[in-house]
A and B are shown apart, each in its own frame.
Chain A
Amino acid sequence: GGMAAAALLLLLVAAGPGPGRTDAGQERRDALREELLLSPLPTGDVAATFQFRTRWDADLQGGAVSHYRLFPKALGRLVAALGVRELHLALTQGFWRTRYWGQPPLQAPAGAELWVWFQPTVTDVDKAWKELSNILSGIFCASLNFIDSTNTVIPTASFKPLGLANGTDHHLLRYAVLPREVVCTENLTPWKKLLPCGSKAGLAVLLKAERLFHSSYHSQAVHIRPVCRDASCLAVSWELRQTLTVVFDFFSSGQGKKDWSLFKMFSRTLTDTCPLASQSKVYVDISPKNKEKELLEVSPPPTSVHEAVVQGDKKTYAVYDLLSPSLFNTSRSLNVQLKWKRPQDSSEMPIPTLHAQRYVGGYGLQTGEICTLIYNTHPYRAFPVILLETVPWYLRLYVHTLTIITKGKENKPSYIHYQPAQDRRRPHLLEMLIQLPANSVTKITIQFERALLKWTEYPPDPNHGFYVGSSVLSALVPSVIAMKDMDVEQSPLFTSLFPSSDGSSYFVRLYTEPLLVNLPTPDFSMPYNVICLTCTVVAVCYGSFYNLLTRTFHVEEPSRGGLAKRLANVIRKFRGVPPL
């Protein structure tokens, strides 16, 4: 009793000094944690995923004066000014091949993806959304300003707030994908500029554009969301996650070897830590594949080894803690290397429980068919999946042709939300909740008709085709292995971004391939050709008429030759020579 009272008293004393004034240096209200996860993929490629997480124990929404330290001012001002509750922006080049590379830590569709939850206080959500996309396009040098009502949808079920939210009124949500967007260096530089240490120190020194874009997949993302400040969740903190995923294909480009090192991937090594980071770790996925532990080795020896269950898979990570003083004592720089002890037989590739495939069917330029194949490879568990399909208005979907077939039988979706398109106003939105039986393939087909566009509506290079954004699959996938209730803070990366439910299943969001559809394209030079042709005909007619009207016709006397002859005769007459 006495002890407890004393402890309580101590606590009270500790909490004594006012909460407003931060004790300088002792307790920061913001913190930066950086992580790098290196995972060898089954195909022999290597995926590197960076995550920089800035947490700020402040209320961004209130207060006229704002003072920023680690949180970037540009984004903070944006969130405060436009009443943003949650913002997710991803810029991606390439496509994550789920079938071969396994479940991604955090996938994004090819091109640009933006989804935003607004505060309930925002009255005109569409205006705020337009303004937000314009400002973001300025900050990230991306063409997000092309987001308008023709590619914005309001999903009802697929996208839930990932952060703290007390209501999920989906009218406050906006979602848009620009599949045509090309991601390059000019998008990376502003993204790096948002990091407190820039690319000067810490893990960000590895982010060299010439290596990052020399890869088969590049995705950079910004996630802003409110989170609970502590376990009691009485106050709100804001969290900014900047993530970047690259996949290097060493297997195909590098002499068939699967060995890699940091230097080989990024052409530089880690030399120091960002002094502002309160955590700086490198994780290497060394999970044994076929129960044979001694297959690969990492050097230098890791600080510790961490085991966790991530996305239904037991993973073993070698952890390098850059903040531990022992790491840089032995050598001045850290160059993580991984070597395979013996060549791996690539025949047994693990197939992810959920993966999907999409393509355009049909022939000709009038009608077509969008086919989506969803695979559930789980041996004995069925699970539902939410499919979100956004199709531009110029592909006119016929909903009565929608068929969902699993194992030869029709599969009736338990929930359908369909919003038809309006020409030049909004796209088609189709959301379905489909039950996937165990070990099955589900084929979803829907037919469409190609619309004719006005001649000003065609983009440059119209014969390239028109992109249809990736469809989104969201599912709670049952885990094969029972998941323990693990310490989320210890596990690397994204385990804490998606809400984790009970131990038996995990959340997965997948994107299918974007589609490229050819539309009937007019010959744009035709008007000019017509003008040229008609003008030439008119000009020729005019020429002959002109000749007819202006020429004087008279009978030519054969004796008097041409002008030259007459001149010559005149001269000859002078000289007294007989004329010609």
Chain B
Amino acid sequence: VQLVVPMAVVFGQGSVPGDLPRPLPFRDVQEMEISVNLRTSVMSRYEMRYRSTTGQEEAALAAATAREADAALHLLQDTTFGSLTMYVVPETSSLLPQGTNVFVGKHRSALVRAVGSLAALQARLREVTQVMSFTASSIAAALSDRVPDGQLSPDARRYLKSSLGYEITFSLLNPDPKSHTVDWDIEGAVNRYVKPVLDKLSLVANFSVDSQILYYAVLGVTPRYDKESSSFLLSAHSLPHVINPVEARLGSSAASLYPVLNFLLYVPERSHSPLYIQDKDGAPVSTNAFHSPRWGGIMVYNVEAPASPQASLPLHVDVDMARVMEVFLAQLRLLFGLSREEVPPEFLLESPGNEGLADWELDHLLWAHTVENIATVSTTLTSLAQLLDKIGNIVIKDDVASEVYRAVASVQSAVTKLSLGHLHAAFQASKEAVTSSERAFFDPSLLHLLYFPDDQKFAIYIPLFLPMAVPILLSLAKIVRETRLRKKEPTKMD
């Protein structure tokens, strides 16, 4: 598989390095191999076009701040999925603040401060492209099924598997409805905070959002009382036991087959308030929340104790949804592998604003999911082929066969599209390939239990084979005994 990233490197006035091999504009190709395991490796190929700025771009770059320049440049760019545009600005440019060398915009472009030589510039550009498209580790995470154990970073197991859709469920857990009546304006919060992000992500998958309130749902562990702070503590090592009893109440997504992302807001019971989560070092976690890889997140929401102890129960609580949603959205980004923490320090990232997600972050997801989809299809088809090899007389219906053909065709087209740099088309093709291959694999006619294994057929005929074998074996034994005797006899003759 070859991943091709079309890139444009645009030199502003006074930023052209001295040691260019050819006069501008020219083209160049850089290749990088990402090896996943001994047999699999992914080739990434950056097709770079070097050119100098046009007049309009120059005018845009003359803006006062990087943000304004980014907005102005957006209108002049190539906006296809997966493509990148780098604007190299002079070393002394005041567009970038002191100390930052790279400004990554909201869309698919970045401003890069020029360095002396072309080689140094290319090294910097490579860093930027890895942030904005994919890194070796993000591709390895997408192919995590094939990476040998132990070589995978723990982060890689956190990301959600690629799927055609996701169901997001927000649950408010109120284990103590006698003392707390908790209200949350989830409808408003979803519309305000979650909807914009999901609208953007709708290119990647279908999302459905719902919420529920569960009463008398308790965590699986009893928190420890801490005298110093007169609060209750959940230590990091007990967190794995928290989810199981809650999950039984969450209710499975009976109506669809998509994976569910659970976000739980836990209002601790009055006898366990306030409740804080401790990290491994014993320090309280500032957000009072944690996430569970590929499952979702839990946030503990403490209710302030009433000023007067004789305040009438139940206590009415209105949840501050802005605070809660900030945490849940951060967890959502984390689960999709869009964390912004792994960026080198001299990078400045433009905040995505209302949409919650920059264009290049979307590309990042698309790259990873396309690669993962292709891997999934090949795994599915391989195991299907193995099954068919094992059972010789299995019946393959025409519709199953056509699904397999379609899956193969789609995956091939996805691979070609990737090597042409058409990211979006490749992703669509890979999605179709996944659908077809799953449909073929899970076809009820291919259940291997429907077919008699050969050893059972043999077992039925044991009443024939056994009595027939007895005289043969007996006479064989006799022959052996006689030959042994015949050997013995001459020695005794002497």
Contacts and interface: CB of A to CB of B under 8 A. Distances in A.
Contact of A535 (B191, B210, B461, B475): B461
Interface in B182-217: 183, 186-187, 190-191, 208-213, 215-216
B314 interface: yes
B477 interface: no
Contacts of B209: 64-65
Contact of A276 (B177, B191, B256): B177
Nearest to B318: A24
Contacts of A539: 463-464, 466-468
Interface string A74-105: 10011001100000000000000000000000
A571 B316 CA distance: 112
Interface stretch (B68-76, B221-229, B246-254, B421-429): B246-254
A201 B208 CA distance: 32
Interface string B468-485: 101110010000000001
Interface in B299-322: 314, 316, 318
Contacts, number: 107
Given A25-B183, A74-B252, A543 B216 contact: no
Contacts of B212: 67-69, 73
A65 B187 contact: yes
Nearest to A198: B216
B475 A531 contact: no
B213 A69 contact: yes
B255 interface: yes
A565 to B, nearest CB: 14
Contact of B467 (A193, A275, A540): A540
B255 A570 contact: no
A547 interface: yes
A571 B208 CA distance: 98
A139 B467 CA distance: 53
B193 to A, nearest CB: 13
Contacts of B460: 528, 531
B493 interface: yes
Interface in A521-545: 528, 531-532, 534-536, 538-540, 542-543
Contacts of B249: 193, 198
B492 interface: yes
B351 interface: no
A138 B463 contact: no
B173 to A, nearest CB: 12
B470 A543 contact: yes
Contact of B316 (A24, A82, A275): A24
Given A81-B255, A197-B216, A535-B464, A64 B208 contact: yes
Contact of A25 (B256, B316, B472, B485): B316
B254 A135 contact: yes
Contact of B485 (A276, A535, A543, A563): A563
Given A24-B183, A535-B464, A539-B466, A78 B254 contact: yes
Contact of A570 (B213, B252, B463, B492): B492
A546 B471 contact: yes
A200 interface: yes
A145 to B, nearest CB: 12
A24 B181 CA distance: 10
B254 A139 contact: yes
25 contacts: A25-B183, A65-B190, A65-B209, A66-B210, A67-B212, A68-B210, A68-B212, A73-B169, A74-B252, A77-B254, A77-B255, A78-B254, A78-B255, A135-B254, A197-B215, A275-B177, A276-B177, A531-B460, A531-B461, A531-B464, A539-B463, A550-B475, A567-B492, A570-B492, A571-B492
Interface of A: 24-25, 64-70, 72-74, 77-78, 81-82, 135, 138-139, 193, 196-198, 200-201, 272, 275-276, 528, 531-532, 534-536, 538-540, 542-543, 546-547, 550, 563, 567, 570-571
Given A81-B256, A543-B467, 16 more contacts: A24-B183, A24-B316, A64-B208, A65-B191, A67-B212, A72-B251, A74-B252, A77-B255, A197-B216, A200-B216, A201-B178, A275-B178, A535-B461, A539-B466, A542-B471, A543-B471
Q: 8 nearest interchain CB pairs?
A: A539-B467, A535-B464, A535-B463, A200-B216, A68-B212, A81-B255, A73-B212, A67-B211
